[in-house]
Structure 1
């Protein structure tokens, strides 16, 4: 196959096109230099702000980002549970108290009446030797009954 010959007029057109593109690039570069010199302080401020933004986002993700759930092997201290005579249902009520739920919410979650929850709470207070739910919760945490 014979080599393709490009006519001289196309070579000249390509040369002039390349010269015009280079000239346009040079003019754009000079315009950029003028803008960069006349607004140097603002450009530095923008770069500094961008750097601090990136640093803040990175620190935020690093410090307060979601951490993967660590599988825990919390057993609820069965020895203390048996020593105090706390039933499994009372443990369920204690876990709900630890979650911050009210008696009505606990009743709805465990599918029992609010009076039954009150009875379980009263027995827990008695068994943990506490006068209030917060005191019972503190003692339960000290004993390792709830996390």
Structure 2
């Protein structure tokens, strides 16, 4: 994933993302984060610890080869793991 001025960016449109099988918990975490919830709020909503949320987010990012929450969100949307609402 490209990094510009220390900020992670989304993968270029032409780059292909790896196939990823995610658990229901991982999908739920991604949906909560896509909705703008913090790790702590996500943990409370899903009845897990904030540490679990952070570990799962980091692991999914590693598996997708992306850095940062923005890159993870873009990759998750491209893979259809979260829906994107256009305004």
TM-score (normalizing by structure 2)? 0.69
Partner of 1:96: 32
* 8 Å contact from structure 1 (residues 86, 127) kept in 2: no
Flag the structure with higher helix content.
1
| Structure 1 residues 31-110: aligned runs within 5 Å | 83-110=19-46
Q: 1:133 pairs with 62, 69, 80, which one? A: 69
Q: Which runs of 4+ in 1 moved over 3 A?
A: none
What is the number of residues matched between the two proteins?
66
Gaps of at least 5 residues in structure 2 are 1-16
Q: RMSD of aligned C-alpha atoms?
A: 1.5
Unaligned runs of 5+ in 1: 1-79
Match of 2:9 in 1: none
TM-score of the superposition, structure 1-length normalised?
0.42
